Amino acid sequence: MNQTVRTLLRPIHARLGAYTFAIGVDLSEATAKSLTRLRRDDLVRLCETRDLEAEGTKNQLVKTLLDWRDRQSETASSSQLSSVSTVRPPSTTRPNHDINTVPVLERSHRVHVTPPLSKVESPPPRKGSKPKDGEGELELDLESLGLEDKEIPSDKLVKLEKIGSGGFKDVYVGKLRGRVKVAIAEFRGQLSQMDIKELKLLRDFDHPNVVRFLGVSIPENTRDTPVMMVSELCANGDLFDYVRNVAPPSLRKVTNLMLDIARGIQYLHHHNPSVIHRDLKSSNILITSKVTAKIADFGLAKVKQSTRSMVRSLVGTVNWQAPELWHAHPKYDHKVDVFSCAVVYWEMLQWHAPTKRYPWEGMNEHAIYEAVGAQKKRPPMNGLRKLWSPDLVELVEHMWAQEPHDRPTSVEVTNKLEYLIKH
């Protein structure tokens, strides 16, 4: 292994060293107190390798693990964790997770299911998010969140067919006030800090290429009746499925969809305060009945108070992720979204291919780190220049440049696509 690869993998090996402790945890002897001492990402790993929900607060993760243990037989032994964490391809069954198996993504036939994250930041508590009863549950205070004008009485909502699920949400087609079709996300259990954060961000968004938040329904007793988040319905599901299920459109139509995405990103980056999405991928881009692309899922979005500052964190899904995130203490800015957008565009350029692949399909986390980070490889562009405009292919290659300062801004991407459409 050359020195460049060793340098890149050093922080990753450090992270895996932390996971070794979690591997040795014997849940048959663990208590709530002993599990709470673990780091949150260790708890996430313990959940993921047991096919359990891996979102929420530390207390919620501990409860999930203890509930799972109680359901197992007394002779069940703790399974060894795999260090693999990748996005999952479409599947209707959940495979057994052994050390040599790359996990696969369970997907709904209609609505996207969020792929597992390589690592998720646990946001700090915000005003209005108060733990109670020692269970890590959150009390949703609409007034303190500025959402008092977004409350929707539950009797004004009617749930229809279930169209998907992911994390701690079930998603339904519904009707608002008996007329307007909407998407209703029903939270299973108490809201997490990440859910609260997403609601607070959605409150202020107003752009044709960002999914429109309509309101939230808060029951009197959130222990027995779920909280519901209401947003506009994007009838064609997510872009991941749309590329695979719809006949390839013209170059102009594909470019228009790319422009929709670029305009949505530009809006977020120039919002006040500025927002970095941090988890941009085809399953987080929804398609309306009029075939307009809209950016969704802001659970991992990061607010930047200063456009000059660099954000320090490690989040997102590795297959779409910019390499500057792969450090023990990463520093990054808006250009991580530009990189991820380029990978999404690459997926769209495959529309005419008989087999649609997602980026780095079949590769585990460490293989992707080495390919993208050390070897500076990108998803294959073979033959794409013959199918698409060379200018469009060159734009994608510009957007996923290794160094952030070599990538265009979201404004420059938007301007370039507008120029290509006109000419």
Residue 327: both structure tokens together: 């450090």
- Lowest-confidence segment of 3-17, 58-72, 132-146, 301-315 by average pLDDT: 3-17
**Distance from the first to the final alpha carbon of the chain:** 47
pLDDT of residue 259: 98
pLDDT of residue 44: 78
Mean pLDDT of the chain: 75
C-alpha 357/C-alpha 421 separation (Å) is 26
**Between residues 353 and 149, the one the model is more confident about:** 353
pLDDT of residue 399: 98
Average pLDDT of the segment spanning 116-141: 41
**CB 360 within 8 Å of CB 368:** yes
User: How many other CB atoms sit within 10 Å of the CB of residue 141?
Assistant: 16
If residue 201 lies in a helix (H) or strand (E), which one and from where to where?
helix 193-202
Whether the per-residue pLDDT at 71 is higher than 90: the answer is no
pLDDT of residue 19: 35
Collapse the DSSP code of 84 into the 3-class scheme (helix H, G, I; strand E, B; otherwise coil) and give the result.
coil
Q: E-strand spans in 68-179? A: 129-132, 137-140, 157-166, 169-176
Residue among 73, 77, 72, 53 nearest 63 (CA): 53
**CB 222 within 8 Å of CB 192:** no
Model pLDDT for residues 405-416, shown as the tens digit of each residue: 999 999 999 999
Residue type for position 200: K
C-alpha 339/C-alpha 325 separation (Å) is 11
Task: List CB contacts of 183: < 8 A, sequence separation 6 or more.
Answer: 163, 171, 172, 173, 174, 230, 231, 232, 233, 234
C-alpha 359/C-alpha 354 separation (Å) is 16
pLDDT band at 122 (very low <50, low <70, confident <90, very high): very low
Q: What is the DSSP letter of 406?
A: G
In terms of DSSP H, where are the helices of 49-166? 58-71
Whether the per-residue pLDDT at 379 is higher than 90: the answer is yes
% residues pLDDT > 70 (the chain):
68
pLDDT band at 157 (very low <50, low <70, confident <90, very high): very high
Length of the chain: 423
Model pLDDT for residues 255-298, shown as the tens digit of each residue: 999 999 999 999 999 998 898 888 899 988 999 999 999 998 87
**CB 268 within 8 Å of CB 285:** no
Of 238, 260, 279, 337, which one is the catalytic site residue? 279
Average pLDDT of the segment spanning 128-157: 63
Catalytic, 279? Answer: yes
Whether the per-residue pLDDT at 222 is higher than 80: the answer is no
Report residue 91 CA to chain centroid gap. 18
**CB 35 within 8 Å of CB 43:** yes
Residue among 141, 111, 62 nearest 242 (CA): 111
Collapse the DSSP code of 293 into the 3-class scheme (helix H, G, I; strand E, B; otherwise coil) and give the result.
strand
Domains and CATH numbers, the chain: 3-71 (no CATH), 129-232 (3.30.200.20), 239-422 (1.10.510.10)
Whether the per-residue pLDDT at 207 is higher than 70: the answer is yes
C-alpha 230/C-alpha 337 separation (Å) is 26
Whether the per-residue pLDDT at 72 is higher than 70: the answer is no
Task: List CB contacts of 3: < 8 A, sequence separation 6 or more.
Answer: none
Whether the per-residue pLDDT at 59 is higher than 90: the answer is no
Task: Judge if pTM exceeds 0.85.
Answer: no
**Between residues 87 and 161, the one the model is more confident about:** 161
